[in-house]
Chains A and B, each alone.
Chain A
Amino acid sequence: MAPGASAVATIPVPKLDRPGPSPDNADKKPMMRQFNAPVVFNQVVSQGWKLLAFSWPEGLTPPIPGQFFTFNPQGLQAGEAGLLRRPLAFAFFGRGLAFALYQIRGKATQALAAFAEGGSLDLIAPLGNSFPQPLADEQVFLAGGGIGIGPLLYLRSSFHGVEAAGAGVSILPSRTGKLFLGFRSASQIPSFTLAAERWEKQNQEANGAARHPKPYRQPVLAGLADLQLCLDQAFIATDDGSKGFKGTVVDALLQDSAQTAPIATATRIYACGPAPMLSALDALALERGSPAHLSAEQWMACGVGACQGCVLPARAGGYLRACADGPVFPQGAILWKA
């Protein structure tokens, strides 16, 4: 790990207006909090995509892969689509910084894209359930489509953490997992390395040679390097064939698993992406008898389970809330709109 502990300690850390979990309530589910998070990084990583990083409050349980947060699109008036918070999934967490990948699609993400580093963003986090960890002897497939790759990068990096923690002992190959990422075209594929280089250059130009580097420089760069490492290990699929496999991420996964067959070992599938992709993987998992964990996207109002606005139709009848029953659902739980 590159950064020293002293560098981390000087990052502005958000303060909580209500205390985090105490030993008295540690047995309860991890708590969510509303806080103002200093944004330390908000840079373009590919065409129309940006990566956000902010520092995490002390005393608040760090997010785990699959979880999300909501942000208040500050700077937008209620009359300009600024009435509701917007959800974003965590793409990485490390060294006191949380990262999220987002696509500039509407007014709220435009406002976020314009948000200056150094400002404080009004957040509620961590929210939702998470991807359960795989069993040690399972072969793991991770599939991310479009902007849905964020949570898969985080999940993949958490396996990496397992490897690092167990350094010295033999690492089961299944612990790494095969990561498949699908994009429209090559221009959409993020480059965290290039983003890091551009950011360094910007900071040098802004600060001048005499100024000290920002205290969070090392944690940001280390996070970007970890994200790039995950991305570099991924099998890439593009709809137009401009890079990697030509076709969908599901096709890429099918082709690969056909080559590695016969599969004697148990497999487990993790996915996040558009509904047709989740629908196809849900069906595939059923056919193979594999457990699958599929992360859904839906419009939300409260994000905490109160308003019942973000529901998805459940296979068993009724509806499930994307925010509080999900966003990660097991195979067979949701009637996906394919």
Chain B
Amino acid sequence: MESLNREPDLRVRIGPLVLPNPVGVASGTFGYGQEYQDLVDIDALGALYTKAVSIDPKSGNRPPRLVETPSGLINSIGLANPGLPAFLDEKIPYLQSLGCPVVVNVVGETESEYTTIVEAIEKRIGVPREGMKGPVDGYELNLSCPNVEKGGMAFGTEPELVERITRKVRKITRRALVVKLSPNVTDIAQIALAAEAGKADAVSCINTVVGMAIDVKTCKPLIARGIGGLSGPAIRPIGVACVWKVARAVRIPVIGLGGIGCANDALEYLLAGASAIQVGTAIFSNPRAPLEILEGVKTWMRERGVEKLKDIPSLFRFPS
């Protein structure tokens, strides 16, 4: 094993999009970027996956929306977001100013809402130009949010629906198309295959795990809606296993997330077959986590003489 004395190649290709490095910030944990601009060098990120955008503004679920559990965080935000028109008018100009790739997380209550949102954004920003970073460089279809009655996870548990929605959106954009998967299914590989069949460029997994916590003093759930989505270190082994299963099943890149807080966590996902990763809950505790993770991955690659990020999965010593 020889160490590397030049910078390792960290680029990741997601369909037409080349990420400068594998470390992104997960949807719902980083707003639309602006909220963190004082604390994080956003331009240095591999990608920014925005808070979900729905057609109409959503005020979200009744509080309390958060509870910390052992090594985890249950949230039930309910996709609170300003809605498509406000996204187009107020968020796009800011996203245009960023130096990192931007992937817009899209959510709908009906199938046609996904296409309506992507169509409206495409119309606003025009066709992608070769080598030019737009205000939006790709879409992440949220077929996996556990915190709403309609849409989200309700779509992501049916392979036929996943394929159909993906195919419909594929027809209206040449930008990168990612489908975000839920672990709350019997066989996540089946859902990933459906996204691939619908011509997605990548899948991201996992969204949060359905969870519940109860206050035994008041005999009430600690989240107003009862159940919520569990994130944080508690779900990392679930995420790593899901990525491993999905990466063996599909040929498109897998973006891994779920409980990544340090470089070693990210490396677990990369070894399991992820092409890129996202950091979520860890940002709340340490906004510097994504860029610290990037440095740690680079150091690991240099020490082991790994030239290219895409070579990491081949280092996984496990019969497949």
Interface residues of A (CB under 8 A from B): 18, 31-34, 72, 77-81, 83-85, 122, 124, 298-313, 317-319, 324
Contacts and interface: CB of A to CB of B under 8 A. Distances in A.
Nearest to A17: B288
A299 B29 contact: no
23 contacts: A18-B41, A31-B38, A34-B39, A77-B71, A79-B70, A79-B71, A79-B233, A83-B71, A83-B72, A122-B286, A301-B75, A302-B283, A304-B35, A304-B287, A307-B28, A307-B75, A309-B65, A309-B75, A309-B77, A311-B63, A312-B63, A313-B63, A319-B59
Contacts of B77: 307-309
B284 A301 contact: yes
A83 B287 contact: no
Contact of B80 (A302, A303, A308): A308
Contacts of B51: 306, 308
Interface in B280-297: 281, 283-288
Given A72-B285, A81-B70, A84-B73, 10 more contacts: A34-B286, A79-B233, A83-B72, A83-B233, A83-B285, A306-B35, A307-B28, A309-B75, A309-B77, A319-B59
Contacts of A304: 35-36, 39, 287
A83 B280 CA distance: 12
B126 to A, nearest CB: 28
Interface residues of B, number: 36
Contacts of B31: 305-307
Interface string B37-76: 0110100000000010000000110111111101111010
A79 B233 CA distance: 9
Contacts of A298: 63
A77 B233 CA distance: 11
Most buried by B among A72, A299, A300: A299
Nearest to B37: A31
B232 A32 contact: no
Contact of B73 (A72, A83, A319): A83
Contact of B64 (A77, A78, A81, A299): A299
B30 interface: yes
B285 A34 contact: no
A312 B232 CA distance: 24
A255 B38 CA distance: 46
A84 B284 contact: yes
A110 to B, nearest CB: 14
Given A83-B68, A304-B35, A306-B29, A34 B288 contact: yes
A338 to B, nearest CB: 15
Closest 4 CB pairs of A and B: A306-B31, A318-B59, A306-B35, A309-B66
Contacts of A34: 39, 286-288
B80 to A, nearest CB: 4
Contacts of A319: 59-60, 63, 80
A75 to B, nearest CB: 13
Given A34-B287, A309-B75, A313-B62, A84 B68 contact: yes
Given A85-B285, A310-B66, A124 B80 contact: no
Interface string B142-168: 000000000000000000000000000
Contacts of A122: 286
Contact of A78 (B35, B67, B232, B287): B232
Interface of A is mostly: loop
Contacts of A72: 285-286
Nearest to B58: A318
Nearest to A82: B285
Residue of A31, A298, A304, A306 ringed by the most chain B CB atoms within 10 A? A306
A308 B39 contact: no
A83 B65 contact: no
Contacts of A303: 284
B72 A124 contact: no
Contacts of B64: 299
A306 B29 CA distance: 6
A305 B59 CA distance: 14
Contact of B38 (A32, A85, A302, A317): A32
A100 B270 CA distance: 42
A64 B30 CA distance: 26
Contacts of A305: 31, 35
B207 to A, nearest CB: 15
A299 B41 CA distance: 27
Contacts of A85: 284-285
A311 B65 contact: yes
Nearest to A318: B59
Contact of B281 (A18, A32, A83, A308): A83
Nearest to A300: B66
B38 A301 contact: no
A324 B35 CA distance: 9
A34 to B, nearest CB: 5
A312 B65 CA distance: 10
A324 B34 CA distance: 12
B60 A308 contact: yes
Contact of A301 (B62, B66, B80): B66
Contacts of B39: 18, 32-34, 124, 304
A79 B281 CA distance: 14
A306 B50 CA distance: 10
Nearest to B287: A34
Contacts of A32: 38-39
B70 to A, nearest CB: 5
Nearest to B73: A83
Q: Which of A33, A124, A299, A307 neighbours the largest number of chain B CB atoms within 10 Å of its CB?
A: A307
Contacts of A81: 68, 70
Contacts of A312: 63
Nearest to B284: A301
Given A34-B39, A301-B75, A313-B62, A307 B284 contact: yes
